[in-house]
Structure formats: structure tokens, C-alpha cells
Amino acid sequence: MAKRLSRARVFSKGVSDSVSEMVQLVLPNDTNVLGNLLGGTLMHWIDLAGAIVANRHCRLPIVTASMEGLDFMSPIPLGYLVVLKGKILYAGTSSMEVRVEVYSEDTLSGKRRLTSTAFLSYVAVDREGRPVPVPPLDLSTDEEQKNFQEAEKRKKQRLAKMKKLKSRSANDSES
């Protein structure tokens, strides 16, 4: 449930306010020569599921800043359902982190299996593409607090990595 913060005139939102579940059917056009879902197609679906969560949290235009921690634990065959569950873990000034869990579901037996997990970062932007503030995240459980703290650590690591890459890129262009 959204809570109004009088000082900032911004509404805080709970984790449950923006959760999303998206389902796709693996069709022949989505598969590789072995009859399994293409990794790039799955990455696209993960980004969409995560973007829905981020947009529901801030109700602003968003851009994808990063996708990390994506591991393909098992293939998803033709004819299976792909269930993507997204949940916001962190909201900063203008950025948000979303976890998307991917499950394969056998359409005949209903058996589900976790096949992938990814962490995505999104930034809310205005029409000119400049970052804008997002609502604070109202954490109501110990698990949500733990997820938030872990996401903060990942954000610090991402920023340090980006700073190093930008520095290296600047040095390369000067050479």
C-alpha cells in the first residue's frame, strides 16, 4: 500500500505494489536448432518482465541500466511455458533493482522448474532522458530489508565497476 511522505510529496510504495508475473509459450520461432528457447529471447522477456515491475513502482518512463547475474541453469524446450516473476528489491534516488525469476512449466504435467534468475537495474527518466526521483520503497518484512541491503551492495559494486571501465576507456582514447 502506498504511503504519502509529506516532506517530499512522494508516495512510498511497498514491494507487493509492483510485483509482476508474465507467461510466454515457447514456439518454434523462439528456439535454437536443439528445440530449446534461445538465450537472447529469454533475455528480452526478462527485461520486459523487469521493466513492468520498475514502471509499476515509479509510473515513469524507465531505461534499463544493467542486467547481471543471469545464469541459464537448464534449457526450456519447445511447447513449454516460461513463467517470469518480477519483484522490486531496491529503490534509490532514481534507480531501482528488480529480480526476475524464470520457471519452465510443462504444459501437460504442470511441473515447474526454476531455470534462471537475473538482477536488473532501471533508471526513471524524464522526456529528455535525465534521471528523475522514484518513490522510496516501503520495506515491511525482514526478507524485504535483507533484499534491499543486498541490492545496495550490488549497486555499489556496479558503480565501482562502471567507474573503472570509464577510466579505462578514457585512458584508451588518450593513447
The pLDDT tens digits for 76-132 are 999 999 999 999 999 999 999 999 999 999 999 999 999 999 999 999 999 999 999
Q: What is the mean pLDDT of residues 14-38?
A: 97
Distance (Å, whole) CA 10 – CA 15? 16
| Higher-pLDDT residue of 91, 169 | 91
Of 87-91, 122-126, 139-143, 168-172, the least confident = 168-172
Using the predicted structure, report yes or no on whether residue 6 has a pLDDT greater than 60. Answer: no
Q: Check whether 3 has a pLDDT greater than 80.
A: no
Residue 121, phi then psi, degrees to nearest 5:
-110, 135
Question: What average pLDDT does this structure show over 39-48?
Answer: 98
Q: CATH for 3-174, among 1.20.1280.50, 3.40.50.10170, 3.10.129.10, 3.90.550.10?
A: 3.10.129.10
Burial group, residue 19, by CB count within 10 angstroms (0-12, 13-18, 19+) = middle
CB-neighbour burial class of residue 9 (10 A; exposed 0-12, middle 13-18, buried 19+): exposed
Amino acid 56: pLDDT: 97
What's the pLDDT band for 9 if we cut at 50, 70, 90? very low
Domain boundaries, the chain: 3-174
Give the contacts of 152 (CB within 8 A, at least 6 positions apart): 90
Give the pLDDT band of residue 51 (cuts 50, 70, 90): very high
Give me the pLDDT at residue 171, please.
73
Which residue pairs from 26-29 have beta carbons closer than 8 angstroms and sit at least 24 positions apart in sequence? 26/76, 26/77, 26/78, 26/79, 26/80, 26/81, 26/82, 27/78, 28/78
Percentage of the chain beyond pLDDT 70 is: 93
C-alpha cell at 107: 504444459
